[in-house]
Structure 1
Amino acid sequence: MNCLLCEQPKQSSPSWQSLIAIEKSTLICEDCSNQFKRVDIIEVGDNIDSITSIFTYNEAMRNYLHQYKFLQDIALAGVFSNELKQALSKKKAIIVPIPMHPTKKIERTFAQVDELLKAADVSFEDLLIKTNQEVMGEKTREERLSMSRLFQIKPQVEIESTTYILVDDIYTTGTTMQHAALTLKEAGAKTVHAVTLIRAASEQ
């Protein structure tokens, strides 16, 4: 089988876990895998009880995101499934993906966060609707602070007084996560955590 990123044949020795089918096979080669850098940042936000990010945003990750999201290579959804599943298994909670705006979803043809969760075999609930298409990374801090709400709860959805985990592919300014967490908490959520695959440096 070829690597999904460099398309070169994968060369790996089978482990005892893979031989008894408890280890999910990797989709990329060792050389490509070694280009991704773990960061494992855990921090807090104004409306979020904790934010966990798994990888840093380097050139390898930029290329991965471009191929996955913009070239619509949905097969890449499973590249980091083991890492994502491990991060989400640490807390008992309702998993909620950050949704795309409906217009953007039509352009992309698939919801990238939903596909990441499906590939990781993680159950989730679509509870939020995104109401704004603006890109947070293109705004100043003052513009982000003055924005109207980015999300609303889906009609006929009742938010329980329990723990939720928001999931997104990349954390840049934090505005998206803060808005989503506030929407859940105002609707009745007791605790809101967040997990992102990538943590990108942001300008203040």
Structure 2
Amino acid sequence: MNKIETLCLLCSRPLQSAFSWKILLTKQFQPTICDRCSARFEYSPTVSALYQYNDAMKDYLHQYKFLQDVALAKVFRQELHARLKHEKATIIPIPMHPLKQRERTFSHIEELLKAATIPFVQLLEKTTSETQSSKNREQRIQAALLFRLMTGAHVEHKEYLLFDDIKTTGTTLRHATEILMNAGAKNVKSFTLING
């Protein structure tokens, strides 16, 4: 067994991790953050999210999404993989508007799933470049539909799971659910990294 020294992606403290066959055979990912940073995140009491929104998560989202630190997609990969690896529903990440994605250089939702090796399909496209985070609660609830089906997308009569980074009012997930249900989905549920 070899020791590999890497640094915590959040605080840069050295991480001592042992590389072994067990890690390879059981689909364990190498740790990317230290125990001290990990302890700052608070698990969600709901089954529809992994974590609660708190100061540690606020810092994480700022660094990951707005400072474009794509390496941080790996921080929660073990937990996401464990939660979604046996999911029977087709997973659909909430899309970004193309202008926002070009500005940010990557789709933060898709990168979370890729880091966790979770397969997904994209059936939706965002119709507005406005972000929900720029609106207050009332504006979010009253927003016009945010999505449409992608050209050529076919929604089958089966179950889908929408995946997003954070749920605050639920407007984004509600709009995406409405589009899929109107297009013929059997059922649409949702799961988020964070419950806001």
Q: 1:119 aligns with which of 90, 115, 134?
A: 115
Query: What is the one-letter code of the residue matched to 2:179?
Result: T
Aligned to 2:69: 73
TM-score by length of 2: 0.89
Q: 1:139 aligns with which of 136, 139, 146?
A: 136
For residue 41 of structure 1, give the secondary structure of its aligned residue in structure 2: coil
Aligned to 2:28: 23
- Could you say if the C-alpha distance between residues 61 and 185 of structure 1 is closer, same or farther in structure 2, counting changes exceeding 3 Å? same
Q: Does 1:151 align with 2:147?
A: yes
Unaligned 5+ residue runs, structure 1? 43-51
Aligned to 1:107: 103
Q: 1:6 aligns with which of 5, 11, 20?
A: 11
Residues 161-197 of structure 1 show CA distances to partners (whole Å, capped at 9, x for unaligned) of 0000000111111100000011000001011111100
Residues 127-184 of structure 1 show CA distances to partners (whole Å, capped at 9, x for unaligned) of 101002333342343x434332110000111100000000011111110000001100
Q: State the shift of 1:104 in Å.
A: 0.7
Percent identity over the alignment?
A: 46
Aligned to 2:92: 96
Aligned to 2:3: none
Name the CA distance, whole Å, in 2 between partners of 1:104 and 1:177.
Answer: 18
Q: 1:35 aligns with which of 37, 40, 46?
A: 40
Name the CA distance, whole Å, in 1 between partners of 2:122 and 2:26.
Answer: 31
- Could you say if the C-alpha distance between residues 24 and 148 of structure 1 is closer, same or farther in structure 2, counting changes exceeding 3 Å? same
Alignment: residue pair count? 190
- Could you say if the C-alpha distance between residues 21 and 155 of structure 1 is closer, same or farther in structure 2, counting changes exceeding 3 Å? same
Name the CA distance, whole Å, in 2 between partners of 1:132 and 1:199.
Answer: 23
Name the CA distance, whole Å, in 1 between partners of 2:91 and 2:12.
Answer: 33
Runs of 4+ in 1 over 4 A off after TM superposition: 12-16
TM-score by length of 1: 0.86
- Could you say if the C-alpha distance between residues 130 and 187 of structure 1 is closer, same or farther in structure 2, counting changes exceeding 3 Å? same
Larger relative CO (CA 8 A, sep 6+): 1 or 2?
A: 1
